[in-house]
Amino acid sequence: MSLTWTAVWKPGKRQAFRPTDAGSRSKERSYNTIGPEGPPLRAWYNADVSPFSYSDQLDSGVVLEVGLLNYEMSLGYFTIQVVMKVVDPKTGVVIANARKFSNNRFDDIDSLFEDDAAAYKQLFREITAELVQGCIDKLGLNLP
């Protein structure tokens, strides 16, 4: 039996994280914390049209929307998920999107937060830099 962490989403209530049998079905609406669907940032990421208006700000080029979908430390794992969307500013249509995540193991949470959380901050910077670059590469962007 394999277990996966899921978050139960109920409108107007907090999310509850719990291990769930990967093959089971629940009457509650749930989603895998790494999965591409779910509320509300996932809905933004999955949308074919941006909810934001850029037409009055840009006449040409594209807009790069960036999101941090997952950011959690649980049971010895540090999970981060970065997403990006390339949007046509005139129409709001999403041209392309990319998603990268990392699920890194850590041994001692207390040591990560010693010395004004220096080790934690360094780990966060390293992981997110790698994820951001992975999304940029996936989108085929040539950024300075």
User: Structure pTM?
Assistant: 0.68
- Alpha-carbon distance of 26 to 23, in angstroms, equals 10
User: How confident is the prediction for the chain on average, in pLDDT?
Assistant: 77
User: Residue 42 to residues 3, 59, 68, 110, 118: CA-CA distances in angstroms?
Assistant: 22, 28, 10, 31, 30
Which of 94, 78, 77 lies closest to 86 in space, CA to CA?
94
Q: What is the pLDDT of residue 74?
A: 86
Q: What is the pLDDT of residue 123?
A: 92
Chain segment 5-31, per-residue pLDDT in tens:
333 333 444 444 444 444 444 333 334
Q: What is the pLDDT of residue 91?
A: 92
- Alpha-carbon distance of 54 to 91, in angstroms, equals 9
Q: pLDDT-derived band of residue 128, with 50, 70 and 90 as boundaries? A: very high
Which of 87, 66, 46, 70 lies closest to 135 in space, CA to CA?
66
End-to-end CA separation in angstroms for the chain: 47
With 70 as the cut, is the pLDDT of residue 46 above it?
A: yes
- Alpha-carbon distance of 83 to 129, in angstroms, equals 12
The beta strand positions in 88-137, using DSSP E, are: 94-105
Chain segment 71-126, per-residue pLDDT in tens:
888 888 899 999 999 999 999 999 999 999 999 888 888 888 999 999 999 999 99
Q: pLDDT-derived band of residue 39, with 50, 70 and 90 as boundaries? A: low
